[in-house]
Amino acid sequence: MANRPMAPHLQVWKWGPHMAISILHRITGDGMATVGLGVLLWWLGAMAGGPEAYATFESVMGSPIGMIVLVGLSWAFFTHMMSGLRHFVLDIGAGYELDTNKTWSIVAPLIALFMTAALWAVIFLNLLK
């Protein structure tokens, strides 16, 4: 049998943060597409359904479970955005050095966490006024 090269797979490649952020990018995109679309359609339907339907939507989204969903959606948005910006930089040919790629793979989700916390801090501070 000929000595042919092996196809790359997870047993060949060493796991790294760049692989994790790539998978996280896909997961957050799918999550926003499904959960985000469901919340958006419910919100639009509640607005069209009248005051009672909208009051139900407000009470559910204002509950602890609803807030977790909204915080999760904003986290998914910021994580997907930061990962997308990282991929954009890679697409223009920059950031392929191993240290740079590893650093930005770690920093991107941290920035997303900070942006999510900042957004919800502003929202809650404005609610307290």
Q: Which CATH number do you get for residue 89?
A: 1.20.1300.10
- CA distances in angstroms from 49 to 1, 46, 52, 60, 101, listed in the order given: 69, 5, 8, 16, 49
Residue 1 is assigned to a structural domain of this protein: no
User: Rounded mean pLDDT of 101-126?
Assistant: 96
* pLDDT > 70? residue 12: no
- How far apart are alpha carbons 71 and 117 in whole angstroms? 9
pLDDT of residue 6: 66
Residue 63 is assigned to a structural domain of this protein: yes
Residue 13 is assigned to a structural domain of this protein: no
pLDDT of residue 2: 66
User: Which tokens is 88 given?
Assistant: 């954009």
Containing structural domain, residue 38: 19-128
- CA distances in angstroms from 86 to 4, 55, 80, 95, 101, listed in the order given: 34, 40, 10, 8, 9
Q: Do 80 and 29 meet the contact criterion of CB atoms below 8 Å apart?
A: yes
* pLDDT > 90? residue 25: yes
Task: Out of 6-20, 34-48, 55-69, pick the least confident.
Answer: 6-20
pLDDT of residue 96: 85
Residue keyed to tokens 């809650």:
124
Residue 23 is assigned to a structural domain of this protein: yes
- How far apart are alpha carbons 39 and 77 in whole angstroms? 14
* pLDDT > 90? residue 24: yes
Residue 58 is assigned to a structural domain of this protein: yes
pLDDT of residue 1: 56
pLDDT of residue 95: 86
> Residue 16: pLDDT band by 50, 70, 90 thresholds?
confident
Query: What's the domain count of the chain?
Result: 1
